[in-house]
Amino acid sequence: MNLYHERAVIETLIATQLQALHEKDVNAAVENYHTDVVVFDVVGPLSQTGVSAIKTRLTEWLSGFEDVTVVSAKLVVEAGEHHAFSNGFNHVMAKMINGNTLDMFWRETLCWQKVLGEWKIMTAHSSVPFDVTTGMASTGLKP
């Protein structure tokens, strides 16, 4: 097994997923997720399970944008024969329907498993750091 090839496959899957977000194609954006994925998102609740929860969240999130672009920065992918992980920063740049703009980074770690020959995300963890003095999210940080 060529592990460099497996890493490249996952990098391509991530790029395809980010393109689907730009196109606001929720179905394409969730293709990489396992049916029973566990998600720890930057917004509540503390966790969600299943692709349907992700579809609901993405539909709600994307509906607030006129235009949205999400790119990956400092992506690291490590792959074995059956399991892999990726981590890095996602950068969202969006024009919102209310006229505001969104320009922020968040951290993302994905745990992958090869299921029936395809890489699937089993766990997704997204986060932003917070300022301990204010308790507020530090959304202006850049890698």
Residues 78-124 have pLDDT tens digits of 999 999 999 999 999 999 999 999 999 999 999 999 999 999 999 99
Write down the pTM of the prediction: 0.94
3-state secondary structure the chain: CCHHHHHHHHHHHHHHHHHHHHCCCHHHHCCCEEEEEEEECCCCCCCEECHHHHHHHHHHHHCCEEEEEEEEEEEEEEECCCEEEEEEEEEEEEEECCCCEEEEEEEEEEEEEEECCEEEEEEEEEECCECCCCCCECCCCCC
Look at residue 86 and tell me if it is in a domain: yes
pLDDT given for residue 26 in this prediction: 98
Enumerate the β-bridge partners of residue 48: 39
pLDDT given for residue 6 in this prediction: 96
pLDDT given for residue 72 in this prediction: 97
What percentage of residues in the chain have a pLDDT greater than 90?
97
Distance (Å, whole) CA 106 – CA 92: 8
Distance (Å, whole) CA 84 – CA 64: 32
Look at residue 46 and tell me if it is in a domain: yes
Look at residue 143 and tell me if it is in a domain: no
pLDDT over 80 at 49, yes or no: yes
pLDDT given for residue 31 in this prediction: 97
Look at residue 135 and tell me if it is in a domain: no
Average pLDDT, the chain: 96
Q: Which tens digit of pLDDT belongs to each residue from 54-91?
A: 999 999 999 999 999 999 999 999 999 999 999 999 99
Q: Given CA atoms 91, 73, 111, 68 in this order, what sign does their dihedral have? A: positive
In the chain, the number of structural domains is 1
3 band by pLDDT with thresholds 50, 70 and 90: confident
Residue span of the structural domain in which 61 resides:
3-127
CATH code of the domain covering residue 32:
3.10.450.50
Look at residue 132 and tell me if it is in a domain: no
pLDDT over 80 at 1, yes or no: no
Look at residue 118 and tell me if it is in a domain: yes
Structure tokens at 118: 């395809």
Residues 6 or more apart in contact with residue 2 via CB below 8 angstroms: none
